Structure 1
Amino acid sequence: MSKRLKFFLGHLSISVIIALIVLYLIFYVWYPVPLHQALGITHLTFMLLAIDVVIGPLFGWLVYKEDKKSLKFDLAIVILLQVSAFAYGFYTIAKGRPAWIVYDSLAFHIVRHSDIETSHLHLAQPKYQQPSWFKPQVVALLDTKDIQKTHPIPKFTIAMDHPMYYTDLTNMKSKIENIAFSLNDLKRFNNPQKVQQVLNQYPMANSWLGLSGVEQDMVVLMNKETAEVIKIADLRPWK
């Protein structure tokens, strides 16, 4: 086996291992299915992996000439460019990961890590001051009257991206019981067979609410008696 082929296979193997780790991190930890669709990061992710797995090793193969005096320098430049492009894309995906799924009395909304307003973060409860590095956490937005009692700040600052206004979802149990929709309503906006297939997987769900996404709206399957989120499903909450 030639040195050129050995280098290419080694470069490719390392790139594939990194790609598999990144795929797991993105689709199973930061953007658990189907949140990657709701936020529209699938295309960016595969561009990132194309740079890592295809373009980087390919450029390494093209510049590799065993007798070239500048071989080490050329390969260093290829690897530096590959790492730089990959790091930028990975950083973008990491910053845009969903940190909070926030219920606001009508529906759920996604708050990305990059959206979090930090100006009054010290006023938030300690558990809301630092988003998880793992899957997004589900919270609720305090009622306006409660906000004004505890945080006398002008109303225009009340928004999903202010953790100072977060509370446990269970505190909104009575409101969820009153507003959550019947599972049968899902069949108005989705294929009835697909709806039934999803519901068969999650028998604890007895109601649903909408999830507003950046690219695609989803459905949050709920148990309204316990205010528990059962599953975010790739179903349409409205037309």
Structure 2
Amino acid sequence: MLTKKLTASLYHFLISLLIVGAFLAFVKFYWYPGHLLAISGVTSILLILVAIDITLGPLMTFVVYKPNKPKLKLDLSIIAALQIAAFSYGMFTIYQGHPLYVVYAVNSFTVATANEIDPNDVSNKQLLKSKLAGPQIAFAKMPKDPKESADILFGAFAGKPDIDKLPQYFEPYDKHLDDIFAKSIDLTKLLDKKDTKQELEKFFSHNGDKGDFAYLPLVGKSKDVIWAFNKKTGKPAGIINIDPYQMAVNN
């Protein structure tokens, strides 16, 4: 009987592994590509999802499985229902928090997630998208009307959404590269410190010379990093795992 219990548990494990693995790949490469997974604070949710669906489900099958048990189908159905419920909850939570836009506003990039904004409010047609879509880079442009700008500013102080969460002001970022790159971080002080110098040199060794890039703060849910952009192409070149605000703290 032990062999049959192990076989049933193994089948359950393989099915769970296939489903969860496919979802994790979708999350990693579509909803949270590249650096966004590391800074979005959803790693713990993913670990819980894996623990429940890949480990706990098959283990419960091993415990209850007996070939001639009268209520075996009911027991397995309950396990499957619990597993599906846990997976659906985790999937919905990850969906709610996935980045729709990575928005440049004032002097840094921030993440605007699916539960923070409605992409249907975007006025620029180039940035229209589904809530199921992956992230897109955008530039939040302050309105020219002084009263409208003041309303946004004072509204943010009062707890209302700031400009980086107001999609009606989003524009394609590549139209504003000069404005963005003008706020590039000066790496001089970071190169004077051993630990940050090592991170920078590691990035340069794989991507190019220091002067080839502009360096902007990227503010995440769990940590902040430096986002490097190629000055010639205007495209993201990668992240540097350094807190861009530690210079201000250490000064």
TM-score scaled to structure 2, two decimals?
Answer: 0.82
Q: Using the TM superposition, give the Cα deviation of residue 80 of structure 1 relative to its aligned residue in structure 2, in angstroms.
A: 0.5
1:195 maps to what in 2?
A: 200
2:177 maps to what in 1?
A: 173
* Conservation of the 8 A alpha-carbon contact between 1:158 and 1:165: no
* Conservation of the 8 A alpha-carbon contact between 2:121 and 2:167: no
CA separation of 1:224 and 1:179: change in aligned 2, threshold 3 A: farther
Q: Does residue 138 of structure 1 match 2:137? A: yes
Farther off after superposition, 90-99 or 125-134: 125-134
CA separation of 1:23 and 1:101: change in aligned 2, threshold 3 A: same
Q: Does residue 128 of structure 1 match 2:127? A: yes
Matches within 5 A, 1:85-234: 85-117=86-118, 121-122=120-121, 124-131=123-130, 133-145=132-144, 148=145, 154-155=151-152, 156=155, 159-187=163-191, 190-203=195-208, 205-224=212-231, 226-234=233-241
- Look up the equivalent residue of 2:165 and give its one-letter code: D
Runs (5+) with no aligned partner, structure 1: none
CA separation of 1:26 and 1:185: change in aligned 2, threshold 3 A: farther
Counterparts of 1:132 and 1:227, CA distance in 2: 26
Encode CA deviations 1:170-197: one digit per residue, 9 max, x unaligned. 2222212322124445435753122111
Helix, strand or coil for the counterpart of 1:62?
Answer: helix
Counterparts of 2:205 and 2:151, CA distance in 1: 46
* Conservation of the 8 A alpha-carbon contact between 2:105 and 2:163: no
1:83 maps to what in 2?
A: 84
Q: Using the TM superposition, give the Cα deviation of residue 8 of structure 1 relative to its aligned residue in structure 2, in angstroms.
A: 1.4
* Conservation of the 8 A alpha-carbon contact between 2:122 and 2:170: no
2:158 maps to what in 1?
A: none
Counterparts of 1:193 and 1:69, CA distance in 2: 64
Counterparts of 1:101 and 1:54, CA distance in 2: 34
Percentage of matched positions with identical amino acids? 27
Q: Using the TM superposition, give the Cα deviation of residue 158 of structure 1 relative to its aligned residue in structure 2, in angstroms.
A: 5.3
Helix, strand or coil for the counterpart of 1:33?
Answer: coil
Matches within 5 A, 1:53-64: 53-64=54-65
2:27 maps to what in 1?
A: 26
Counterparts of 1:174 and 1:36, CA distance in 2: 28
Counterparts of 1:65 and 1:133, CA distance in 2: 42
Q: Using the TM superposition, give the Cα deviation of residue 25 of structure 1 relative to its aligned residue in structure 2, in angstroms.
A: 1.6
- Look up the equivalent residue of 1:107 and give its one-letter code: S
2:44 maps to what in 1?
A: 43
CA separation of 1:21 and 1:202: change in aligned 2, threshold 3 A: same
* Conservation of the 8 A alpha-carbon contact between 1:102 and 1:160: yes
* Conservation of the 8 A alpha-carbon contact between 2:215 and 2:227: yes
Q: Number of paired residues? A: 234
CA RMSD of superposed structures (Å) = 2.6
